[in-house]
Structure 1
Amino acid sequence: MVEPVRLGEPDAGELFTLQRASYVTEAQAHGDLFLPPLTETLDELRSVLRDPAVFAWGIRESGRLVAGVRILVRGETGEVGRLVVAPDRQRRGLGRTLLLAAEDRLPPAVTTLRLFTGEHSTGPLRLYPGVGYQETGRTAENGYQLVHFVKVRGASRP
C-alpha cells in the first residue's frame, strides 16, 4: 500500500504544478478556464499550507508528487478540497487511496466531511459515492452545476 505523506509549505511549488495539470481537463469539461484551482496563485497556496487548520496530504512515487488533497478543519467539519492526481497516474486508485488515508488521519473531533465537484467531473462523481459520500444538492456555477456531498465519519464504507 502507498503511504501518504503530510504536505507543507516546502511542497507548495510541486503541489501548485500538480494542481494546475490535474484541473485542465476539469476546466475543459465544464467550459470554465477560471476554476479556482487554476486561478489560485503560488503565494495563496503557500498561505493555505501554512494554515494550521489545513491538513494536506500527498502520495509520492519515486520522489515525484503524483496526488494531493487538502482538508480544512472547522470544528467538527472537514472541508475536502483539491483532490488531484497527475494526469498520467489517474484511474489507478490513487485518489481513492489518498482520500481515505487523509480522512483516517484527521483529528477525532471531525465527524462530518463535505466536498463538491462539477457535474461533468465523471471520475469524482464515481469516486465519492464509492467511498461513502452522499449527494446533498446542487448549485449553479458559471453555466454548470456544482454537486455537493457529505460523509459522516465512522459510517460504514461500501
Structure 2
Amino acid sequence: MFMTEITPAEDSLGAELLALQKAAYAVEAEIIGDDRIPPLHESLADLRAQPLRWLGAVDEDGRLAGAVAWEETAGEVDVNRLVVHPGALRRGIGRALVKEVLARAGARRVVVSTGRDNTPARTLYERLGFALVGEAEVIPGLWIAHYALPA
C-alpha cells in the first residue's frame, strides 16, 4: 500500500474515486440508517468541483483502497471526507490516511465531522485523539458529530 496525492479534476482516478466514495458512503448510510449523505449523491462533475486536497491509498494491484480529502487555512485543517473501500475496511487504511493529514497539518487545529451514529468512524477519530465538540442536526433527522484535535 502506498499513498499518493490525487487531483480528481485532472487525474484519471476521478471516476475510480467517485465509485469508491459512493461505496464507502453507502456503508455509512446503512450504519446510520439514512442515505441523505451529500457525497453519496455527487456526480463526477460535482466531485471535481469541490475545493479539496486529496490523498489516496493505492493497493498492490494499483487500485484505490481509500482516500481522504481536506480543506485548509493558515490556522485549521478540516478533514472533509474519509472513504475506504468496503472490501478493505478494518485494515488500518483510514487510520493511516488521517494520520498523514495530521502530519501535514503541523501545528494547526484539525476538525472532522461524521454521522452521529457512525460508531466505527467515531471510534477511529477518538482513538486518534480527537475530542467531541458538539452534535448538530444538519437536516431534519440527520445528525452529525463534530470533532476537533487542538493545535
Q: Same fold (TM over 0.5)?
A: yes
**Structure 1 residues 108-123: aligned runs within 5 Å:** 108=106, 111-123=108-120
CA distance in structure 1 between the aligned counterparts of 2:74 and 2:43, rounded to whole angstroms: 27
Deviation at 1:118, TM superposition (A): 0.9
Instruction: Give, as a single letter, the amino acid of the residue that structure 1 aligns with 2:111.
Output: R
Corresponding residue for residue 133 of structure 2 = 136
CA distance in 2, matches of 1:151, 1:85: 22
Q: For 1:113 and 1:146, locate their aligned partners in 2 and report how far apart those are by CA, in whole Å.
A: 17
For 1:111 and 1:65, how far apart are their aligned partners in 2?
28
> Equivalent residue for 1:63?
62
Aligned to 1:98: 97
Shift of residue 74, structure 1, vs aligned partner: 2.4
Q: Pick from 11, 28, 40: which aligns with 2:30?
A: 28
Tell me the secondary structure at the aligned position of residue 53 of structure 2.
Answer: strand
Unaligned runs of 5+ in 2: none
Query: Per-residue deviation at 1:83?
Result: 0.2
1:92-148 Cα shifts (integer Å, max 9, x gaps): 111001110122134x4x611111111211111110011111100111133142110
Supply the distance in 2 between the matched residues of 1:111 and 1:102 (Cα, whole angstroms).
11
Q: TM-score w.r.t. structure 1 length?
A: 0.85
Counterpart residue type for residue 36 of structure 1: P
In terms of mean alpha carbon deviation, does 138-147 or 64-73 score higher?
138-147
Match of 1:13 among 12, 15, 22: 15
Identity %: 30
Q: Contact conserved, 1:4 with 1:101, CA < 8 A, in 2?
A: no
Q: Using the TM superposition, give the Cα deviation of residue 28 of structure 1 relative to its aligned residue in structure 2, in angstroms.
A: 2.1
Return the alpha-carbon distance in structure 2 between the equivalents of residues 116 and 33 of structure 1: 16
Contact conserved, 1:132 with 1:151, CA < 8 A, in 2? yes
Equivalent position of 1:72 in the other structure: 71
Q: For 1:64 and 1:124, how far apart are their aligned partners in 2?
A: 23
Ranges in structure 1 where 5+ consecutive residues have no aligned partner: 154-158
Report the counterpart of residue 42 of structure 1 in structure 2.
44
Q: Aligned-residue CA RMSD in angstroms?
A: 1.6
Query: C-alpha distance in 1, partners of 2:102/2:6?
Result: 15
Cα deviation, residue 41, structure 1: 1.7
Contact kept in structure 1, 2:74 and 2:108, CA below 8 Å: no
